[in-house]
Amino acid sequence: MRLSRYFLPILKETPKEAEIVSHRLMLRAGMIRQQAAGIYSWLPLGLKVLNKVGKIVREEQNRAGAIEVLMPTIQSADLWRESGRYDAYGKEMLRITDRHEREMLFGPTNEEMITEIFRSSVRSYRDLPLNLYHIQWKFRDEVRPRFGVMRGREFLMKDAYSFDVDAEGARRAYQRMFVAYLRTFNRLGMTAIPMQADTGPIGGDMSHEFIILADTGESAVFCDKSLLDLPIPGADTDFDGDLSPIVAAWTGPYAATEEKHDEAAFEAIPEERRVAARGIEVGHIFYFGTKYSEPMGAKVAGPDGQEKPVHMGSYGVGVSRLLGAIIEASHDDAGIIWPDSVAPFDVGLINMKPGDGPTDEAVASIERQLEAAGLEVLTDDADTRAGAKFATMDLIGLPWQLIVGPRGLAAGEVELKRRATGERETLPLESALRRLI
């Protein structure tokens, strides 16, 4: 992609309304544009990252055996009356009336709808286990939308729903999502710690929030430092096998959010391992038994022919919130530092002298070679000062910058900069290409 043909509306000024660094940087880097409180347009650079985050979330859901569907954003109020949540949900729900005076709503979550889909077609225990997920926009009329996409009103969520014959099956479904989440956040370049969360009326130990430690996080969290160094389950993990040892390793050391915090248990950890910090909730997994299947009549016949309500769980990931969380965890004074896995482009190719025949030719040839190798390249072919070029590349945070100018080319050399470390190296063009490809 040539910068001269791209749409990258960089802001020179720091937007006043942005209170935290990720919000500031997303606005400055031309990733998003606010349309109303907590409602954003995704501009090309932001959309590219959003799609890459979504792709990793999707790959790990699929690996763990979940199956993708797509449910609508608009739901019927009647569905929510069946579960009893239409009145209970309160002001966070955006309620809509259509031209026939039918009550509708913009979905804040999809337990009711997925239960309706399930009950309409699944009858037997033989069809279980089943886990269906989608990645769809949600709307919650938050009292205080803030921090950009971190607490939006419209936001993109991955929500999965599992169905099992009994609590034991549901525990295995829960463990599959638990492990999938460890892998997902790790592939996004982050350390997310599963922390015990409130299970509400159901009780038990089957609710975890996945938390990223960050000073700007909205929750107070407490954990054992050893969790920061635990190995992440590999891509070869057998999701049909017994995942209890992995879950046990991750749930053994102390970790809890404020609501579940037990000061005595925390103080039993050696002092140097106690972490009391702020955290961002990027995922939440939950077992809720027959809370929806019972009132909504989602039943399957067991081997004995007897019908019983299915045991369900739900598993959310804040896909759009993750962009803010990644930036909170990975930036410096100059701008964003994208992890390789979600960077909008792999390489920023900087032409130091656009209009100079040999330089233009060399840049075009390098661009072709990188793209042929499957890399995504943003080529700065604009006629701007060197300082402005470097500042833009640092701001948008591409993992590599390849700097090509007439003087270097005369010696067969280019400059390669790794954004994360700031290391710059002058080296022969061939070596630079080998490094990248």
Q: Which residues bind ligand ATP (CB under 6 A)?
A: 140, 142, 151-152, 155, 157, 281-284, 316, 318, 320-321
Nearer to Mg ion by Cβ, of 119 and 153: the residue is 153
Q: What is the DSSP letter of 311?
A: E
Q: Quote the CA–CA distance of 400 and 377 in Å, as a whole number.
A: 10
Least distance (Å) between residue 156 CB and ligand ATP: 8
Query: How many residues bind to Mg ion according to rule CB under 5 A?
Result: 2
Least distance (Å) between residue 239 CB and ligand ATP: 22
Least distance (Å) between residue 142 CB and Mg ion: 7
Closest residue to ligand ATP, based on beta-carbon distance: 318
Least distance (Å) between residue 345 CB and Mg ion: 33
Residues 113, 106 contacting (CB under 8 angstroms)? no
Nearer to Mg ion by Cβ, of 12 and 144: the residue is 144
Query: Rule CB under 5 A: is residue 419 a binding residue for Mg ion?
Result: no
Nearer to ligand ATP by Cβ, of 250 and 286: the residue is 286
- Considering only CA atoms, which of 86, 51, 199, 73 is closest in space to residue 136? 73
Q: Quote the CA–CA distance of 399 and 386 in Å, as a whole number.
A: 19
Closest residue to Mg ion, based on beta-carbon distance: 284
Question: From Mg ion, ligand ATP, none, which one binds at residue 26 (CB under 5 to 8 Å depending on kind)?
Answer: none
Residues 124, 301 contacting (CB under 8 angstroms)? yes
Is residue 412 left, alpha or beta, with left meaning phi > 0 and alpha meaning psi from -120 to 50? left
Binding track over 258-287 against Mg ion, x by CB under 5 A: -----------------------x--x---
Nearer to ligand ATP by Cβ, of 111 and 381: the residue is 111
Question: From ligand ATP, Mg ion, none, which one binds at residue 182 (CB under 5 to 8 Å depending on kind)?
Answer: none
Question: From ligand ATP, Mg ion, none, which one binds at residue 155 (CB under 5 to 8 Å depending on kind)?
Answer: ligand ATP
Residues 389, 382 contacting (CB under 8 angstroms)? yes
Least distance (Å) between residue 199 CB and Mg ion: 12
Least distance (Å) between residue 287 CB and ligand ATP: 13
**Helices assigned H by DSSP within 205-356:** 244-251, 263-267, 293-296, 319-329
Order of strands across the sheet with 377-380? 377-380, 347-351, 400-404, 413-418, 424-428
Query: Rule CB under 5 A: is residue 183 a binding residue for Mg ion?
Result: no
Residues 199, 207 contacting (CB under 8 angstroms)? yes
Cis peptide before 253 (omega within 30 of 0): no
Q: Quote the CA–CA distance of 137 and 376 in Å, as a whole number.
A: 27
Nearer to Mg ion by Cβ, of 39 and 235: the residue is 39
Q: Which residues bind Mg ion (CB under 5 A)?
A: 281, 284
